[in-house]
Amino acid sequence: MEQELTIQQVAEATGLSVHTLRYYERCNLIAPIDRSANGHRRYSSADLRWIEFLNKLRLTGMPIRQMQQYAELVRAYPSSAFEERRQILATHREVVLEQIQQLQENLAVIDWKIQHYSTLEAELQAHENVNAAGKESPI
């Protein structure tokens, strides 16, 4: 029998809050979660894998609406609609690649600034050393 996880265990495993997990269920990003006899949510390993995938999409900046569209295709056509699902992911991939390119450009500017300040610090230190060498010793 497969181990079922509580909402708290899933929150800890995914890094999402309990509130976010409930929100994902309310907005149909995740299918209704099975409940125990006392009404508490019980997540399967398949639920956990799906949530981890959604988390990756969200961390890459995919809008909730697009995630909902993808989730709807997965639930409505579990063994088909591959082209539509692939297209959603391919389109989002292009957005992510553009973000990566922008981040790389921003990182290059930061690296340049770090190098610039290192150079200024070295010049200042050299100047201070020259000034200190020209002064008489107090002894």
Query: Which pLDDT tens digit goes with each residue over 38-84?
Result: 999 999 999 999 999 999 999 999 999 999 999 999 998 877 889 99
Tell whether pTM > 0.85: no
Flag whether 102 is in a domain: yes
Domain that holds residue 73: 1-80
Q: Spell out the residues 6+ positions from residue 9 whose beta carbon is closer than 8 angstroms to its own.
A: 43
Flag whether 8 is in a domain: yes
Confidence of residue 117 (pLDDT cuts 50, 70, 90): very high
Kindly state whether residues 5 and 59 are assigned to the same domain. Answer: yes
Flag whether 36 is in a domain: yes
Q: For the chain, what is the domain count?
A: 2
Kindly state whether residues 64 and 122 are assigned to the same domain. Answer: no
Flag whether 139 is in a domain: no
Cα–Cα distance for residue pair 124/134, rounded to 1 Å:
16
Intra-chain end-to-end CA distance of the chain, in Å: 85
Share of the chain above pLDDT 90, in %: 84
